[in-house]
Structure 1
């Protein structure tokens, strides 16, 4: 079956059934789930099917009622701004965003409970001992390789750049080499904690180095990408094992029970971590002292031991809590009667979710919500990516308002294009007595409804992607015009390379704007500093004034 034939078959199957999950399409088309996901994304863009959580629905008949079309249960959250939370449970996203977030909540004296790894201003960290857990799993892998492959161990490490995941990889390497000192780490690759990346990196690695027989994955989504890659390459499970650090949800537990590539996994128990985060949040809200880290339990599970700890109901698994209590130490008194009768309960606990697609965060979210609800505590799920975008967007609007305050009646101003330019145009929409020159169609559309200003559009070739007018016609127009102030935007700012931008046709237009202006005012939030784009625009010396936010990296100040 060719790729085109497979696409046509997928459309036919989805139209016949109304809805089909990825797993079923994978079986029907005899390809991996990764391939099916890519096909569904392509068909969705072509508007031939509608991509849904876990599968696809027909555009003709709609999906039938039934459990197959239902997204797994998610916590129903309240719509409460971060500033109004009583406690925030947060996972590090990236240092720059972490600083923005911590600065924002610290101004409101909101205590922070760090999940997975430190954030620098938290009350405590709720996390597994990543290095020790990785070390123990590495020793297990070493013993397995000694028994199955006479001690031959060639490892692919699918890691991530964060400190906690690096600790897992380092622990695993130390553990396996403590058993088999000759173990070779063939490759250690940053899969960015994304399914597609893990799949492609694994496929490439196994193709280039077929002697790899052990894959260590720092979480389930990397392990699942590796699993699909090995399956697509038809690699014999007798010669390859994949070891997930997490067993976060049902997917890898079911893979473990298949006894193919996944023969062991390290369970981190979101069912315990979630309640521990809530208990830590209650303690912090009541100013009770907490240790620097609350170490959560882990267990190495095989197909034989998994059913002892989890109960299987179809393809779903639920924790045997009483059994687990006898096997591991659980931090704080979760599921126990309250011992602090006079303590107050927070009204709302928020959870920052950095990877919405990960089973760890789906299950952690549910566990926190369920445990908090039992104590009548509201729960707020915060999408880290969207929250970061909102924070940057807020700062860009502030920059635009500041820039608008620098414009005087009667002035001729030149406005470049970009997100901040659009906000500046909004700020000027009710101003009068201005002459405004722009090559941005979006800026023009915002301002053209006000007849009290003179609005000049440069003309030129239209770039759809940026909604900008560029080229010789636009540049020639600027030679005949002179502006009092240019409000310039670029995509990269460094001291060495200066101002830079991504598209050469827009760069030549920006250079023409600089030549046409008496004063150059650069509008840029902190995200543009420290980056060098493809094409240099000008030296920083051309800038007369900079309008930015208060989150500049130290190197740029």
Structure 2
């Protein structure tokens, strides 16, 4: 195969979401060095962006700030948060991921008794900081200003000392079989660790996140999890996610789009 034809085939695979070096080597029957060289050329041409272990098409999208995200799908996020709050029992130990929907969950938990909440989200820390009935534990780490999230080895080290009753994760996108789309590897690693440190795992994602992968880094879901989304979720997106053996989809009532 001519190098140009090989790169065109690689680009077609990237468009289909199959962009790891291992996948491309198996398909093309060439060495990893050849694949990496082709990916580097596609990146130089602006047709792809290198990721850990592979590539995706096009340049990486800009990550919205927490404030920008808070103004999107507000009613849907609140309906999801209320549904999630109904799962929590007084006295439980919870892990709340950073994010806007998990931040709304903190708001709905603020009057509960005897909770212990571990979080890396600055918005959750602010919401619960004046609630004496809640034991609040920050995960520590380095602050990402865009997402107002604490990440890194300090946050991960704290999590390794905890077994929580429930964890509530946010995501920029949710793909069946791949998991939660994240802007950085650090965030993907932290979410995966959070999921492993709780007896029950929940993903809180409004309908715009379903079937979307705006970023190339993923936190895989390797244990059973409940995805809570809003009633406006397209049936096709719900059906696709229902095929994931690790996911159970639940629709929050209260808000539905036509």
Which bracket does the TM-score occupy, shorter chain normalised?
0.5 to 0.7
Q: 1:481 aligns with which of 162, 173, 181?
A: 162
Q: Which residue of 1 aligns with 2:218?
A: 536
**Structure holding more helix per residue:** 1
**SS across alignment from 1:499:** strand
Q: 2:97 aligns with which of 416, 430, 437?
A: 416
Alignment of 1:116-195 (within 5 A): none
Q: 1:428 aligns with which of 109, 112, 115?
A: 109
**SS across alignment from 2:79:** helix
CA–CA distance in structure 2, aligned partners of residues 488 and 392 of structure 1: 17
Give ranges in structure 2 of 5+ residues lacking alignment.
1-69, 239-258
1:457 aligns to 2:138 (yes or no): yes
1:398 aligns to 2:83 (yes or no): no
Q: Deviations over 1:464-495 (max 9, x none)?
A: 11111111111011001111000011111122
**SS across alignment from 2:174:** strand
Would the alpha carbon gap of residues 475 and 553 (structure 1) be closer, same or farther in structure 2, given more than 3 Å must change? Answer: same
CA–CA distance in structure 1, aligned partners of residues 188 and 170 of structure 2: 10
Alignment of 1:57-136 (within 5 A): none
1:518 aligns to 2:199 (yes or no): yes
Q: Which residue of 2 aligns with 1:444?
A: 125
CA–CA distance in structure 2, aligned partners of residues 390 and 535 of structure 1: 24
1:498 Cα deviation (Å)? 2.6
1:545 Cα deviation (Å)? 1.4
CA–CA distance in structure 1, aligned partners of residues 97 and 178 of structure 2: 21
Q: Is the 8 A contact 1:433 1:452 kept in 2?
A: yes
Task: Provide the aligned length of Structure 1 versus Structure 2.
Answer: 168
Q: Which residue of 2 aligns with 1:494?
A: 175
Give ranges in structure 1 of 5+ residues lacking alignment.
1-388
Q: Which residue of 2 aligns with 1:468?
A: 149
1:496 Cα deviation (Å)? 4.2
**SS across alignment from 2:136:** strand
1:548 Cα deviation (Å)? 1.0
CA–CA distance in structure 2, aligned partners of residues 488 and 542 of structure 1: 13
CA–CA distance in structure 1, aligned partners of residues 200 and 185 of structure 2: 23
Provide TM-score, normalisation by structure 2.
0.62
CA–CA distance in structure 2, aligned partners of residues 486 and 444 of structure 1: 16
Alignment of 1:43-58 (within 5 A): none
Runs of 4+ in 1 over 3 A off after TM superposition: none
Alignment of 1:19-34 (within 5 A): none
CA–CA distance in structure 1, aligned partners of residues 184 and 71 of structure 2: 26
CA–CA distance in structure 2, aligned partners of residues 418 and 493 of structure 1: 14
Q: Is the 8 A contact 1:521 1:543 kept in 2?
A: no
RMSD: 1.6
Larger Rg belongs to: 1
1:390 Cα deviation (Å)? 6.5
